Structure 1
Amino acid sequence: MSNSTGDGPSTPLHSVSVAGAVIDESGRFLVIRRADNGRWELPGGVLELAETPEDGVCREVWEETGIHVEVDRLTGVYKNTTRGVVALVFRCKPSGGTERPSPESTEVAWLTPEEVSERMGEVYAVRLLDALDPYTPYVRSHDGHHLTPTR
């Protein structure tokens, strides 16, 4: 393969997404049930070219849940090796708004860490549970379904 200039191997193309691990005062996580596949996930989406990761998290969480957030810190970087998506997850705290579904989410809920482990797939649950660890950020890879063992 060659790149667009025709002089060598192609450069891998990756998409960068951002997501919010939004935690309320009682330790529950803000989650959505996705409209396209019915799965529970943390709110997030593709980072736009002109926005900072922090601004992207605030926008995505608000668009999908109706909740405004303040970004605290980066808690993890997660790469889907099958789809070439790199997700940056930020711990956030709610700062206003009212929960409501969106075209991208059929439900919005606050789940305890135990409920996160029960309802969410491994590669999404770990993103929320990692945000509880003060010694983050984590760097993890997965195939879309299961975490890749670390070295």
Structure 2
Amino acid sequence: MSQAQDPTSPPLHSVSVAGAVVREDGRLLAIRRADNGNWELPGGVLELNETPEAGAAREVLEETGIQVEVDELTGVYKNTTRGIVALVFRCKPSGGTERTSDESTAVAWLTPDEITARMPEVYATRLLDALDDNGPHVRSHDGKQFVTAG
């Protein structure tokens, strides 16, 4: 019996955090992931001993070399296939220099149009939602496309 079918077992989810880093010129920070070559926003698993905001700042720094000031939560995104809940925070760069890491093969400041062209919709939306002041947004997807509530 799977976790989803067993009412006595709590569902297992992973919580990740990510920083949608917006520069003054409107460009957004993105990485090309080392493991799959996809362009995404910097982020990763939230550690047990840290706040979501601290986790987002840590992940951005680890993956890009950019220090950030975390502003606000802009979205909550659930990958229904993998059981990952991602909290995305709008951030401002506050220092550091762009560099790659073990987790990234490229770091770039992209325009919204470049983000739409380079990223799958479910990941591009996380960055584009950070530009929208009508959040936070709550969205679910299966890893490839958004799913409706139901």
> Normalised by the shorter chain, which TM-score bucket?
over 0.9
Would you say 1:78 and 2:80 are equivalent positions? Answer: no
- Residue matched to 2:49: 50
- Structure 1 residues 130 and 11, CA gap change in structure 2 (3 angstroms): same
**Per-residue Cα deviation, 1:95-117 (whole angstroms, up to 9, x for no partner):** 00000000000000000001000
- Residue matched to 1:115: 114
Deviation at 1:9, TM superposition (A): 2.4
- Residue matched to 1:67: 66
**Per-residue Cα deviation, 1:66-120 (whole angstroms, up to 9, x for no partner):** 0000000000000000000000000000000000000000000000001000000
CA distance in 1, matches of 2:10, 2:106: 38
TM-score when normalising by structure 2: 0.95
**Per-residue Cα deviation, 1:5-42 (whole angstroms, up to 9, x for no partner):** xx962211000000000000100000000000000000
What is the identity, as a one-letter code, of the residue corresponding to 1:102?
S
- For structure 1, list consecutive stretches of 5 or more residues without a partner in the other structure: none
RMSD: 1.6
Q: Match of 1:141, SS?
A: strand
TM-score when normalising by structure 1: 0.94
Q: Match of 2:53, SS?
A: helix
CA distance in 1, matches of 2:148, 2:69: 32
Runs of 4+ in 1 over 2 A off after TM superposition: none
CA distance in 2, matches of 1:52, 1:149: 29
Tell me the matched-pair count: 148
- Residue matched to 1:128: 127
Q: Match of 1:96, SS?
A: strand
Q: Match of 2:147, SS?
A: coil
- For structure 2, list consecutive stretches of 5 or more residues without a partner in the other structure: none
Does the CA contact (< 8 Å) of 1:2 and 1:10 recur in 2? no
Identity of aligned residues (%): 74
Q: Match of 2:146, SS?
A: coil
